[in-house]
Structures are given as C-alpha cells and as structure tokens.
Amino acid sequence: MGDPQKFTILRAAQRVWAVSSIHGDVEALNRLHRAMIARIRQGDRLVYLGNLIGRGAAVTATIDNLLRFRSLFLARPDAFACDVVHLRGSQEEMWQKLLQLQFATDPKAVLQWMLDQGVAASLESYGILPAEGLREAAAGPRQLTRWTSALRERIQAHAGHWQLLGSLRRAAYTGRQSGMGGNAGPGNPGWGLLFVNAGLDPERPLEAQKDSFWWGNSAFAAIDRPYGGYRRVVRGFCPRHPGFELGDFTATLDGGCGFGGPLLAACFDVEGDVVDEIEVPA
C-alpha cells in the first residue's frame, strides 16, 4: 500500500470519473460539472488529473469551483472524503517550488522558466505581478522570502485554497494491486485502474516515480503491458493534446484545455472500459 500522503485508494469504486487538465479555465469547468452532475451514480468516484491551475486567467475561481463541486459530490448518501481526489500536476509542482523559491541556486532564472510554463497566470489571479517576483528574486534571499510569504498570505486569504493545494496526491488507484506477485501479463491483464497526471516510468515501482508523474510523458508511450498489475493507467496531460486516446493498457485525456482546446472527462468501470464521456468545447 502506498504512502497515504502521496497516494489515494479509491475504495469500493464501481466507476471512476477522470477529468483532464483544466489549466484555470473555469468556464469550461462549470459546463463540465453541469453536464456531469446528472450522470453521477452511487458508487462513482471522481479524480481530477492535475494541472488544475496555470495558464488560464481564472485560477482562483477555478479552485472555488472545484471546492463547491467537491462539497456537492460528497453530499450524496454513503459518500466519503476520499471519494474525490485532486492530483498534483506539473503546474501544481511548480507552484509548490515557487513558494520555496528563496532556496533556489538561481531563483530569477527558475522563476522566469516557471513564468514561461504558465505560472504567470496563477500569480496574476492571486493579485501578484510576475515582474515583482523577478525584481525580488534579483534583490536577494531576504526580499524574496518576503515575496513568497506575501504569496502564501494571498492564497490563505481564499477560503479552502491552501487546504486543497496542500492535499494534492501524486496518484490514485482503485482497490488493490493485483499483480504484486509478478503474474500480470498479456494473458492476465491485471485488475483496477491507476490515475496519474502526465505519465510514469514503467521500469520503476509506484513509490519510486518522483517527478515522473508530471514530467514522464515520453516514458508513458512505452507502457506495453499492465503496469504494477493495473488493468489501465489513465493520465490527464500530454504535450500533443490528442483528445481521448485509448491504448491497450493506457488512456490519455487531454483535449488541450488552457491551450484553446476542450476540457474532457471520461468514466471508467473497474475493468478499465470507458462507459461515459463528456467533452466541453473551449
């Protein structure tokens, strides 16, 4: 069993809804939630596949919407807090590192790279100008520490934001791993589903993935057998933004939301088959 601070078990799931990268597009998320609410059944679980923030101009409104829908989802009979999972994506990983920027060897260069990757929109949504960060990064660690502290205060001023961003998981999976004895293979495809942000290294166990979850795009394509005994690995971000792409042992949901494309959601049964899909145009 994985570290509960890193991984969530979707216990007794009958079906799992997975939502692709949102990238701060609150309008698309609103429409997706409206379409989803009428299709949710008892025993359903919900996983947001990371990259909740970044790029879009409405990051704070996006997190507010995620918190509201979580409350609605958990208000159903027999629902538990662990039935809704928000995964850490590359945007959230950069956001965490941003709050520790004063410890970077070259903080200005690191911040500029983050801004180029989409973090600028998240900063602006919390009322922080990226140029201020670049200026403080060049001024020295004391000034930069004040800046990151001010950013923390801005996040904490929004009810629930600090708690949601601090509760992100690296992966989620249904039930148990069935291939622990090494018996999963082409004739025994395993059982259950594993949900990640962008990928993983198929040569490493789940606990050893580290940054592969959000930077492991290329290795994901190499999955040609059940990883860790799971029937299917589902991810929510791919640089190609291929839409809905179903492989023998994988699934990709990324229509390019935040890049001008649609927001996607798919519902999987525990055998890994897709039983419902939603696409919300940009």
Complete DSSP assignment for the chain:
---TTTEEEETT-SEEEEE---TT-HHHHHHHHHHHHTT--TTEEEEE-S--SSSSS-HHHHHHHHHHHHHHHHTSTT--GGGEEEB--HHHHHHHHHTTGGGSSSHHHHHHHHIIIIIHHHHHHTT--HHHHHHHHHH-HHHHHHHHHHHHHHHHTSTTHHHHHHS-BSEEEES--S-TTS--BTTB--SSEEEESS---TTS-GGG-TTHHHH-HHHHTT--S-GGG-SEEEES--TT--EEEE-SSEEEEE--TTTTS-EEEEEEETTS-EEEEEEE--
Provide the pLDDT for residue 4: 82
* Whole-structure pTM value: 0.94
Provide the pLDDT for residue 176: 57
Domain ranges of the chain: 7-89+168-280, 92-162
Domain 7-89+168-280 has CATH 3.40.50.720: no
CA atoms within 13 A on the CB side of 85: 33
Provide the pLDDT for residue 218: 86
The one-digit pLDDT tens for each residue of the chain (282 residues) are: 568 889 999 999 999 999 999 999 999 999 999 999 999 999 999 999 999 999 998 999 999 999 999 999 999 999 999 999 999 999 999 999 999 999 999 999 999 999 999 999 999 999 999 999 999 999 999 999 999 999 999 999 999 999 999 999 999 999 754 433 334 434 445 579 999 999 999 999 999 998 999 988 888 988 999 998 899 999 999 999 999 999 999 999 999 999 999 999 999 998 899 999 999 998
